[in-house]
Structure 1
């Protein structure tokens, strides 16, 4: 095949054939198509070759005009997504979770040949409705928060595509809002926490060798992944005000940074807890882990959950309590002690006070209080 021929061939008129866009000129065949708005010609030795050229080029142009498919764009996008903020960067753990959520939900629902331009508001709403009806392996429907988590990566991907002009001229980022279920508002479950008495009973049931770790979780609100990554150098235990510096985490056995850049924080602890932590790791070097398992191995949250937390929680009468329950309990105790939303946000390592209020707003006093006096006294 060729895009030009001999002069004698070009001087002959094109004769139509049974296939639109394919012509005969002398002893050769010509495929005529448009590319980037301009007419193109390619010559072939046979009618079949010319027809194949016409079909292939037409499909390529149609694909170019339609833009990328959701599957191809989403997987490339998640590899380079850097977060919404100008100076923010998501860590590898979040990127892996976004990829998992996209593959498990959005890319499982939309067909592989679905183009970005084809995803309009009705199709996005249908996706959310599908999530609300989805049944997991245990026969349960996804909770509201799981539905929201499944929607977030697709929403961010479409917003990025809109800014790149791939959803049509002048298109705005699509907002995916779940519908109400059976007439009730789309809402999230309130965070469950322990009362002071429940917390005391739980800590009493924790074996002595593990109690400093769980007291630290309850008094600082650290995520378990952050606590098991603490080194001796991250703990100022002999200062007038002992402190814990959160600088890293261990997730699925891999060392990584905190959940976000806001997770890097310093939290005060009591002197009593500091003394017990110092005694726990008296002979360790600065770079060694503060909490270790048998033979100095890195702790595994799953082992702690099944061997320590669940048995202790059952004995304490709070069988639903887990490691993360202590984080919610810490937040509740801070609010009870009068902590402001901003202080709570910084303490918990959240990315914004708005996120903190979304999770713990129901624990704050929402009454207006007494009237405002304008007097000078």
Structure 2
């Protein structure tokens, strides 16, 4: 039975007590300053009880407490250290500072929307807001698995985030790719060629083994990856396990590189000098960035000292040429070349290791356009409307 009663507290304050019996038969109560607030809360609580989605405030953990359980579960599941690190950043940098002290039961869908708005006001990007809310949803689902929450209020939530950034990936031009390839020498030449013609992710290239390079069938098979902590592990999805054909230039370059490649227990194709797992930062700073600068594939950036521009003798800001692209841009370039060659979207999805065709279209849909067909369609529309 649900009731609302007026109560005078020992302090002399008058409050309205709303009480009800939960699904387990236990009576629970909550105090409010105004009767209307008590009535509204009790109506909503009874509605949730009838739907079987009510969690009493007294047993509901805070977001911080539920987040700790979520991270504990993630470690128990054996997720990669890099994935755990990303989850920790979401919780401690973007979730906890704003709603960490709130109980899960105090966060219905409108409160999650307000949290997303707060993140936007604090300068978080649309992508970071999505990731934070996605992690918050995982926290709710883990709490639900433990019986500490009845619902996940992030399900079906429309964040209504601004989409001002151009979603199309930045892709090097053909002259830029040619300059990079022509300037690549030593170990950097096969690295660049595998990126450009096979479309590997950097983590996949760093974890590539010679046993997965088949010179007879002229294919590279992706079976493992190296994470940010230089640990070899499984790929992130089933779709990432795939075989990719090698162009003749890739085949020949790898054959030459194998003769001088450092040996190691892991049998990696692109290891460190001691045969271990190469780091992403070393590949950028020692190889790909200097290669771009030497090839003239650069942008100009101001020279800073303590955050302030350094001026030359004429009082003008000094600038320096810096590499224009990250290694992932070469993966995008490979996809664009496959699309230009006329491969169908489903084949592109397979070769890129995308989990869904929607992901392929989200990234590269603009490249599948047929300009000639579009122009003919525009002309036909004009003819039907105006004649001639």
Q: Which residue of 2 aligns with 1:119?
A: 107
Q: Which residue of 1 aligns with 2:125?
A: 143
Change (3 A) 1:161 1:173: farther
Q: Distance in 1 between matches of 2:154 and 2:142?
A: 8
> Which of 293, 296, 300 does residue 275 from structure 2 map onto?
296
Mean alpha-carbon deviation: is it higher for 144-153 or for 281-290? Answer: 281-290
> Is 2:223 the counterpart of 1:223?
no
Conserved in 2, the CA contact under 8 Å of 1:341 and 1:353?
yes
Q: Which residue of 1 aligns with 2:17?
A: none
Q: Which residue of 1 aligns with 2:334?
A: 330
The unaligned stretches of length 5 or more in structure 1 are 1-16, 21-33, 40-61, 83-87, 135-140, 372-377
> Is 2:159 the counterpart of 1:178?
yes
Q: Distance in 1 between matches of 2:27 and 2:156?
A: 37
1:308-364 residue CA offsets vs partner (Å, 9 max, x unmatched): 212222333243211111111111111111222221221111211112222222222
> Is 2:238 the counterpart of 1:261?
yes
Please give the secondary structure, in 2, of the residue aligned with 1:174.
Answer: coil
Q: Which residue of 2 aligns with 1:235?
A: 213
Conserved in 2, the CA contact under 8 Å of 1:331 and 1:348?
yes
Q: Distance in 1 between matches of 2:251 and 2:168?
A: 32
Conserved in 2, the CA contact under 8 Å of 1:78 and 1:98?
yes
Q: Distance in 1 between matches of 2:158 and 2:337?
A: 33
Conserved in 1, the CA contact under 8 Å of 2:258 and 2:269?
yes
Conserved in 2, the CA contact under 8 Å of 1:244 and 1:269?
yes
Q: Distance in 2 between matches of 1:102 and 1:188?
A: 28
Q: Distance in 1 between matches of 2:152 and 2:250?
A: 56
RMSD of aligned alpha carbons:
3.5
Displacement, 1:200? 0.7
Q: Distance in 1 between matches of 2:242 and 2:349?
A: 11
Change (3 A) 1:297 1:89: closer
1:234-253 residue CA offsets vs partner (Å, 9 max, x unmatched): 1112x1x3111111111222
Displacement, 1:291? 1.3
Q: Which residue of 2 aligns with 1:209?
A: 187
1:2-37 residue CA offsets vs partner (Å, 9 max, x unmatched): xxxxxxxxxxxxxxx9699xxxxxxxxxxxxx9962
Q: Which residue of 2 aligns with 1:77?
A: 70
Q: Distance in 2 between matches of 1:322 and 1:18?
A: 66
Q: Distance in 2 between matches of 1:285 and 1:307?
A: 21
